[in-house]
Amino acid sequence: MSLFDSEYSQEDNFGASENLEEEIRECKAILENGYIYDSIERIEDLIQDCIDFIKFEDGLYFTDKLLEIFPYNSELWLKKGILLNGLMKFEEAIDSFEKALSLNPNDTETLVDKSAAEENMGLYQQAEESLRKVLDIDPENEDAFFSLGLLYQRQFKYAEAIPYFERAIKIDPDYVEVYYELGFCYEALNNFDKALEAYEKFLDFDPYNASGWYNKGIILVKTGKLEEAVNCFDLATSVRDDFASAWYNKGNTLADLGKYQQAIECFHKVIEIDPYDETAFYNLASVYEEIGELQQAVKYYSKAIESDEEYFEAYLARGYCYDSLGKYQLALRDFNKAISISSDDPDAWRAKADLEYSLGHLEESIKSYLEAARLQPDGYDIWYNLAETYYEANKWLNALEAYDQCLRINPKDSNSMYSKAKINFILHRTQEAIDCLRKAFEINPDIRNEFENEYPDIKTSKLFKRLLGEI
């Protein structure tokens, strides 16, 4: 039995069974009127249709009616187990499969379906035992190998799953579903060449499968083939117009290609399909921000927040937009909200610190930079901005310590070395200042021009040149 659910084969078949609801009503009427014996085969066919088209409750109704007449029919107990499994009544499903096996102990189809119910209950060992029994009976049973592959795959044991899928293909090279699952496993193992090969093989068999084109597109994105990926997402959405994930990833890929207007159209399509998709609102806002339409960006970041009031990234991004728009209090409010959601994120603290610095709130800015530095001790920009803030606040010793942190992270940082020289001059630590100045000049000779522009009187001083060791 195949556990793969092909989205489109069902739709195609439904064209031939569009009167399924009418057939269900007619067969119920037959049962109510007591003419069941004249319609056994018709009802059996209807039960299979109910399985195929996910009408599990109706299918179970008809199966129970037939079991009242044929309680020792193993095929009916098998169908009942499948229907109960579909209704997620897994324990009852296993009981039905056990009943079928008591009547037909070597039925491999029942053992495979029983393993699916056991797996759904998390009974992985029992599921594997059921499948091993299948292989004891029929060593070349491709469904058992496929199901064993799925069993390992769903336990995230992708490398262990692959040999079982490969064995299923060796037995039946036309086993379409296996290629899809192989692609998934190779993708999970970051073996993108093999994943692409598997998905392409799958699409050779099923070229109108939207999920296949979508997964191929994801692989192409991961391998940097963005234009080809867009083509795959196009095919996925042409097969299934309401495929939100395909529209979403197409939008992301177009944005990466700099095709912003097309990306915007894709994200609007996602929102049309799912008006509560906060990530679509967020990405749409990001594109508007990228092209400088900040008011639109704020609008859609706000929509993202309406969908998820704890959306940290949306508060942070909207805060940046407010900052750029000069709406500083609104920006500060968003940065504070972001921090309240995730107080251990250095980006939020740094954004708040930068804004506080811009507003002239130096003490508050220092506190925020210190928190950011605590969370990201190797963040050069954080330490440098903190040092500059200390410098502006005339906190010379604190500034020296912060510049030392910059130099710890980047020993070739001429700007921090030069700033240390200036502070040491202010503190009348002439020798320390000269040492720092000399090192700054060694690291970056252009610093000398900056120094001479800032201190034109000193540059001609013989004493200064002597201290530098130049005369």
> What dotted CATH number matches 1-138?
1.25.40.10
Q: What is the 3-state secondary structure (H, E, C) of the chain?
A: CCCCCCHHHHHHHHHHCCCHHHHHHHHHHHHHCCCHHHHHHHHHHHHHHHHHCCCHHHHHHHHHHHHHHCCCCHHHHHHHHHHHHHCCCHHHHHHHHHHHHHHCCCCHHHHHHHHHHHHHCCCHHHHHHHHHHHHHHCCCCHHHHHHHHHHHHCCCCHHHHHHHHHHHHHHCCCCHHHHHHHHHHHHHCCCHHHHHHHHHHHHHHCCCCHHHHHHHHHHHHHCCCHHHHHHHHHHHHHHCCCCHHHHHHHHHHHHHCCCHHHHHHHHHHHHHHCCCCHHHHHHHHHHHHHCCCHHHHHHHHHHHHHHCCCCHHHHHHHHHHHHHCCCHHHHHHHHHHHHHHCCCCHHHHHHHHHHHHHCCCHHHHHHHHHHHHHHCCCCHHHHHHHHHHHHHCCCHHHHHHHHHHHHHHCCCCHHHHHHHHHHHHHCCCHHHHHHHHHHHHHHCCHHHHHHHHHCCCHHHCHHHHHHHCCC
- 290-319 as b/e: b if 16+ CB within 10 A: eeebbebbbbbbebbbebbeebbbbbbbbb
Question: Whose structure tokens read 């912060």?
Answer: 402
Q: What is the pLDDT of residue 461?
A: 59
Q: What is the pLDDT along the chain (471 residues), one digit of tens a residue?
A: 333 444 434 444 444 456 899 999 999 999 988 888 889 999 999 999 999 999 999 999 999 999 999 999 999 999 999 999 999 999 999 999 999 999 999 999 999 999 999 999 999 999 999 999 999 999 999 999 999 999 999 999 999 999 999 999 999 999 999 999 999 999 999 999 999 999 999 999 999 999 999 999 999 999 999 999 999 999 999 999 999 999 999 999 999 999 999 999 999 999 999 999 999 999 999 999 999 999 999 999 999 999 999 999 999 999 999 999 999 999 999 999 999 999 999 999 999 999 999 999 999 999 999 999 999 999 999 999 999 999 999 999 999 999 999 999 999 999 999 999 999 999 999 889 999 999 999 999 999 888 888 877 665 555 565 556 654
pTM greater than the 0.85 cutoff: no
Q: What is the pLDDT of residue 11?
A: 44
Q: What is the pLDDT of residue 20?
A: 92
Q: What is the pLDDT of residue 464?
A: 60
Domain residue spans in the chain?
1-138, 414-471
Q: What is the pLDDT of residue 453?
A: 84
